[in-house]
Every structure is written in C-alpha cells, then in structure tokens.
Chains A and B, each alone.
Chain A
C-alpha cells in the first residue's frame, strides 16, 4: 500500500510545510544542476525572510538561490563554495549576509548524519585549518580527526527527475548530488519532479530516495535548467 503525497503546486507545498521567517531550509543542487527551481520561485513569491539556507552553492545573481539573495530573504548560507556572485559578495561585505563555509564532503556527511540519527562524527577533513577552530580534535590510530556536528533542516527542497505519487524518487545523472541526503535530513521534505508517475511505475531496484523521507511531491514545470559553463569539443576531434 502507498500514500498519495501529491500536492497541486509549489506554493501549496510551502503552505503545507508551514514555511515561516527564520527557518532553516535545505536545498539540493550543485551549482545550477539539480536545483529545485519551482520551490525556489515559490519561496521568492512567499517573501519569507531571515532564512538559513543550506546548499552547496549560492546560485548566480539572477538564477537559483541568487534570486532569494536579491530579495534579501536569506540571512545565512551554509555552503562549500559561493563562487562568482556579485550580489552575494556585496551583502557579505555589508554584513547583511552571513556565510558558514564548510568542506563539501563534510557538508554532505553532516546532512547524511542528520538524516540517520547521528548527532556528530569525526572526520580527517580540515584538521589544522581555519575550520578546525573551536572544534574538538581526537586522535584515532595516531591520526587526528575533527568532531563535526550533523545538520538538520526545518524544511528540505528536493529536485528529482522522476517520482511516484507516494514520493519514491529517481534522479538523473549528476543532478543527484546533495538531493538524496537532504531528503533525509529535514522535518518536512518537499520533492519536485520533472515527471510524476503512478505508484508502481518506478523500478523498485532503481529508486534512490524511498518514499518514507518525502512529505509532499509535486509535478514541476517550466524548467530552465540553465548551464553555468557551456564547454564543447570541436566537431573534428
């Protein structure tokens, strides 16, 4: 048996999640690849402020999370790389925006741990660097490790390629990235998909995110899927 978790659109999903000022929102994606475009647009329309956004990157000035920076809805970003975003840089320097830079693998593991009931873990990443400041270090088998805390969100925005009405998800190529961990690590998880299918239509062996993690699922639309660095090889090679 399976539940039907479909919801009409992204705006209704945000309402169902009870999104309000000051929340922590996890957003899947790497660069502009695999980002929840519909949910980000709905969050902009909703105008929710003082958000903490956990996402590997911060989008570009006019797309992805960047649009939420322009509207000053984000107070803090937890990311591994914030790249070339003029709006981001300006708000950071003026103190409007706070950023907590986290090594990419540590960020992924903090989310995995957050979804798996592990409050903290030791990692060799970052020992002896600025990110070790104020953190416990412990030696195992004569090698030092840092204690890192897990991350949990109030809400997670997930982008998958296909999903069934109960919330089982399949991703496409490198658009998977942070989505599967984030789907496990928030109190309320919304998935948007390019193709919503009937329960039973997905190959059970191929499901990456099982439905138990998903609270609402919606058919996305109008995907722009912008390319950040279009790189080609010449036809002759």
Chain B
C-alpha cells in the first residue's frame, strides 16, 4: 500500500487532542514532538515523570543544567509556575488519575484496548520505565504509532501477541492511516482516515474489524 502520513503529520494530528487546561504527559519519541505543536493561545502543562510539572523548551547552547532533564534524559528548561517533586509524588499524580492525557507509542494495540510497547521475547528487554503506570493511571490514553510493521503486517490486532504494558487501557490510536477509537463493547471504531485513503483500504491493513458509526472524517494534518 502507498504510504500514509509522515511522522510530522501524525504529530500534528495528535496535537489536536490537546485541550485548554490539560495536564499532559508525553512519551519518549514521536509523542515528545507534540509539545512543538501546541496551538497558540492554548494553556497546557506538561508533566515529566522524573519530577516536574511545567516542562519548558530545550535550553540554548551553554544554558544546559545537568540537574534539569526530562524523562528521556534530555536537557530542558522550566517555565513560570514550574514545580519539582519526587518520583513518588510524580507517580501518585499519574496513578491517582490527575493527569488528563498521556500520549505514547506502541508496538501493538488490540481491539480490547490492550497495549504492548515494552518487550519482545528473545530480545534484550530494557524496561518499561513509567509506561505501565501512565497507561494504568492517566484519564485518557492515546497511542501514536505506525499502522503496520515494516513487513506490512498489522499492528492493530484482534489480540496482542507481545507481552502487555497495560490491559484495556487505550482510548484512541492515531496512526499514519487512521484515527481509531477503542470501544469497550465493539472494539475498534474508525473515526478518521488519512487524506486519500478509503475505509476499505484501512480495514485491509487492520487485524480486527473496524466498526463505523456516523460519518468517517478525514485526518486534519496541517
């Protein structure tokens, strides 16, 4: 199949999930880039699970502070109103349902909302970091991912094949081909397709039935 959205376009679509006043935790990789696309005039506070509310932009060269990093260990800055706390406090916020939204990547998502993104049997396992806590605790969990693996096999499945990161935790998937919600009863619900792709084409690369209710939209990517 011809290629879908670029990473940058997935990021821009994901940024449309932000709402004014949200406290948001962004995972490492593509989700981190969503921070660059926060709509002008919208107030969002970014949480870093290593103990910071209010992540600022990357520092200018020479202004890096080794005592100030994000969860990806990158140097960052603070903003007016930023606050520091311990890892226990940080995960109390996360587990306690105080974080409005988390966006993170995935290797597999299934129609039950199960998520696999931390280990492949037989390969060196680096660890789950804070991902299991985030998906168990955030009010809303959105996954940004490639719809298919490099060999073309679907990553949105009837049942995850990899060990799970969380059970029944994903609310929405934003991929290079579609926006798909997970409904606890019906499974995958197709909300949007990438520009130029049909519902049937997206179904073809998805490992479980895509339900439709009402009109299917076109992903806004600019």
User: Are B64 and A175 in touch, CB under 8 angstroms?
Assistant: no
| Number of chain A residues whose Cβ lies closer than 8 Å to a Cβ of chain B | 58
* Secondary structure class of chain B's binding surface, majority of residues: loop
**Is residue A118 within 8 Å, beta carbon to beta carbon, of the partner chain?**
no
A89 to B90 alpha-carbon distance, docked (Å):
29
Among A34, A92, A128, A176, point to the contact of B164 (Cβ < 8 A).
A128
A126 to B85 alpha-carbon distance, docked (Å):
23
Chain A: minimal CB distance from B67 (Å)? 4
Q: Which residue of chain B has its CB nearest to the CB of A181?
A: B88
A180 to B92 alpha-carbon distance, docked (Å):
14
Q: Mark A60-94, 1 if CB is under 8 A from B, else 0.
A: 00000000000000000001111110000100110
In the bound complex, residues from chain B placing their C-beta under 8 Å from that of A109 are 88, 91-92, 95
A129 to B164 alpha-carbon distance, docked (Å):
5
Among B65, B67, B69, point to the contact of A229 (Cβ < 8 A).
B69
In the bound complex, residues from chain A placing their C-beta under 8 Å from that of B76 are 231
Chain A: minimal CB distance from B182 (Å)? 15
* Secondary structure class of chain A's binding surface, majority of residues: loop
In the bound complex, residues from chain B placing their C-beta under 8 Å from that of A101 are 125, 127-128
Chain A: minimal CB distance from B152 (Å)? 27
User: Are B128 and A81 in touch, CB under 8 angstroms?
Assistant: yes
Given contacts A129-B132, A232-B58, A235-B61, contact A173 B137 (CB under 8 A): no
**Is residue B39 within 8 Å, beta carbon to beta carbon, of the partner chain?**
no
A residues sitting closer than 8 Å to B (CB atoms) are 30-34, 56, 79-84, 89, 92-93, 101, 103-109, 111-112, 123-131, 161, 171-181, 208, 225-233, 235, 237
User: Top 8 A-B pairs ranked by shortest CB distance?
Assistant: A128-B167, A105-B91, A105-B133, A81-B127, A225-B66, A104-B130, A103-B132, A108-B87
